[in-house]
Amino acid sequence: MDTDQRSSWINWFCSNRRNKFYTEVDEHFIEDPFNLIGLNQHIPMYKETLEIILDLEPDDEMYSRVPDLSLLEPSAELLYGLIHQRFILTKQGMFQMYEKYEAGDFGKCPRVYCDDCHLLPCGQHDLPKQGPVRLYCPNCKDIYIPPNPKHQNIDGRYSVY
């Protein structure tokens, strides 16, 4: 299928309402092996999962190993989160997160005296499954639990700055 006729996996994933804390990672960043060093240790069927994220056409050999590509979806979400964690530390990634912050995509501080200050997602740990994503207010310097339960399932590791 032509990419003009459908969105990429990355675009589809980031446009999902429960994934609004993510930004779209540039495919050139993902294609650079240096940026992915060590991630293969955390992802079962790493090569196939990476091909899903990059929208590469599966070959016959891949279908023999993974007859149903939807089984790789949880691994693809995990791998994208790990890649996202690295990407938001780059100049381009920080700029994209700043644009989302300025637009108020992450919400506003619930404190009255913060005068609707925009929040920023943050993680309190850089290890996986140590805690969910939180929201940081740069005005009062407090950390909040996301009000939407869908966002409380995002691993905080993916938002560590």
Supply the pLDDT for residue 3: 43
- The region that residue 38 occupies, defined by phi over 0 for left and psi between -120 and 50 for alpha, beta otherwise, is left
For range 12-18, the mean pLDDT: 89
Domain 106-161, architecture per CATH: Single Sheet (2.20)
How far apart (Å, rounded) are the C-alpha atoms in residues 91 and 120? 17
How far apart (Å, rounded) are the C-alpha atoms in residues 74 and 37? 20
Supply the pLDDT for residue 31: 95
| pLDDT of 69 above 70 | no
- Percentage of the chain beyond pLDDT 90 is 48
Say which CATH class 1-105 falls into: mainly alpha
Closest among 1, 157, 161 to 80, alpha carbons compared: 157
The pLDDT tens digits for 110-133 are 999 999 999 998 887 766 677 788
Domain boundaries, the chain: 1-105, 106-161
Supply the pLDDT for residue 74: 85
* pTM exceeding 0.95: no
Q: Structure tokens of 115?
A: 């005068």
Q: Which residues does residue 120 pair with via DSSP β-bridges, in sequence order?
A: 136
How far apart (Å, rounded) are the C-alpha atoms in residues 143 and 67? 44
For range 138-158, the mean pLDDT: 80
Confidence at 148, pLDDT banded by 50, 70, 90 = confident
For range 77-84, the mean pLDDT: 92
Least confident of 63-72, 73-82, 90-99: 63-72
